[in-house]
């Protein structure tokens, strides 16, 4: 456990810009750690109203920044450059700290902070809901900590104090830099966690249904049961997964897994990583966003219209544990009919 404390920020004002999943968790945790927090949000908007209902001070982003000693930027990546130019750069005072939860915009030069401010990063390794719930349990989620610019000589200390305020220091603080955090985060999302896992599931579903198996059974085998394996990974790594699956499953893992994800797959992963490292992905994503997201919308709609989503919605509707308030209705439902 880290020895970091919030002492350095006890007399500071912290502006949290954005009140989504991470923003709300950070703001509430900091507030309950005894720190002076103001939320920057669009006046009268949903985030403004929710922050007020949560008992926090709220101001427009520009007004929140003006008196802040630390400004935490927790809005979506693509909105941050405009936010910086319009609300932060003209208002942040010299010697203040500008803190991010993801290094994308600083690392790829989409935001060039003034040289009279600290620029640091605190990235919890978990979603906002977990950051909040662990804090409420007296625990915390491990955080990555980094410094891109140290104007005051206290940039890292400020980041560690902030991490303590959101509960991260109760667990673990891992020192990194903006480059490592940004590039590994993007790679994980693209090659394994989102892109890799979702494509593996879809191709498995298509393989089974095209071979004539029922889509309901295919769904259970390649998507639903994935949670069981991921939970074991999460709790105890490969060792726990191998402990709890059958010997038959283990042998299939050892002999067939490398035929699915092989050396060619790894080579393509390396190419994806290269495109992250050299800025190709950042330029492509920025251009896509600036063009109004035409390809993004097309890709997203294709996923939503995939047959696995139709059968999945039907099956999940019968999973009472996912809908506790509808448990009685689900229990009284008719048995699923065989497909076809």
Report the pLDDT value the prediction gives residue 332, as an integer from 0 to 100: 41
Q: What is the C-alpha separation between 91 and 84, in angstroms, rounded?
A: 10
> Is the confidence at residue 337, as pLDDT, over 50?
no
> Is the confidence at residue 323, as pLDDT, over 90?
no
Report the pLDDT value the prediction gives residue 105, as an integer from 0 to 100: 98
Give catalytic status of residue 107 as yes or no. no
> Is the confidence at residue 328, as pLDDT, over 80?
no
Residues of each annotated binding site for NADP(+): 19-22, 42, 47, 128
Q: Over pLDDT 90: what percentage of the chain?
A: 93
**Structure confidence by residue, pLDDT tens digits, 208-248:** 999 999 999 999 999 999 999 999 999 999 999 999 999 99
Label residue 333 by pLDDT band (50, 70, 90): very low
* Average pLDDT over all residues of the chain: 94
Mean of pLDDT values over 168-194: 97
Q: Over pLDDT 70: what percentage of the chain?
A: 94
Catalytic residue among 102, 107, 306, 323: 102
Give the global pTM: 0.91
Tokens representing residue 23 in the block: 């923003």
**Structure confidence by residue, pLDDT tens digits, 263-277:** 999 999 999 999 999
> Is the confidence at residue 34, as pLDDT, over 70?
yes
> Is the confidence at residue 339, as pLDDT, over 50?
no
Report the pLDDT value the prediction gives residue 326, as an integer from 0 to 100: 52
**Structure confidence by residue, pLDDT tens digits, 288-308:** 999 999 999 999 999 999 999
- Torsion region of 120: left, alpha or beta (phi above 0 gives left; psi -120 to 50 gives alpha): beta
Mean of pLDDT values over 306-328: 85
Report the pLDDT value the prediction gives residue 4, as an integer from 0 to 100: 85
> Is the confidence at residue 324, as pLDDT, over 90?
no
CA 337 to chain centre: 38
Report the pLDDT value the prediction gives residue 2, as an integer from 0 to 100: 60
Residues of each annotated binding site for Mg(2+): 185, 189, 221, 225
Residues of each annotated binding site: 19-22, 42, 47, 128, 185, 189, 221, 225, 246
Mean of pLDDT values over 92-111: 98
Residues of each annotated binding site for substrate: 246
Domains and their CATH numbers in the chain: 7-177 (3.40.50.720), 189-332 (no CATH)
């Amino acid at each position: 456990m880290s020895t970091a404390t919030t002492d350095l920020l006890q007399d500071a004002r912290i502006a949290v810009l954005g009140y989504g999943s991470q923003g709300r968790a950070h703001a509430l945790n900091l507030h309950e750690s005894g720190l002076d927090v103001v939320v920057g949000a669009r006046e009268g908007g949903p985030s403004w109203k929710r922050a007020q209902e949560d008992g926090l001070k709220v101001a427009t982003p520009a007004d929140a920044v003006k008196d802040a000693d630390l400004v935490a930027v927790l809005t979506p990546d693509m909105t941050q450059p405009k936010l910086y130019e319009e609300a932060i750069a003209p208002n942040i005072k010299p010697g203040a700290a500008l803190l991010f939860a993801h290094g994308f915009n600083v690392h790829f030069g989409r935001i060039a902070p003034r040289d009279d401010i600290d620029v640091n990063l605190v990235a919890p390794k978990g979603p906002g809901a977990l950051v909040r719930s662990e804090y409420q349990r007296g625990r915390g989620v491990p955080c990555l900590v980094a410094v891109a610019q140290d104007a005051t000589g206290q940039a890292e200390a400020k980041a560690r104090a902030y991490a303590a305020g959101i509960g991260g220091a109760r667990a673990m603080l891992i020192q990194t830099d903006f480059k490592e955090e940004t590039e590994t985060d993007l790679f994980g999302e693209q090659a394994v966690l989102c892109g890799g896992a979702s494509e593996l599931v879809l191709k498995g579903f298509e393989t089974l249904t095209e071979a004539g198996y029922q889509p309901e059974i295919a769904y259970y085998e390649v998507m639903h049961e994935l949670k069981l394996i991921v939970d074991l990974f999460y709790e105890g790594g490969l060792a726990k997964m191998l402990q709890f699956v059958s010997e038959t499953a283990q042998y299939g893992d050892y002999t067939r897994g490398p035929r699915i994800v092989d050396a060619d797959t790894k080579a393509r992963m390396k190419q994806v990583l290269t495109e992250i490292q050299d800025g190709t992905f950042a330029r492509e994503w920025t251009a896509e966003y600036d063009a109004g997201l035409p390809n993004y919308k097309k890709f997203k709609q294709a996923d939503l219209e995939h047959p696995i989503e139709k059968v999945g919605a039907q099956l999940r509707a019968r999973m009472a544990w996912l809908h506790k308030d509808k448990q009685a209705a689900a229990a009284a439902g008719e048995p699923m009919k065989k497909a076809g």
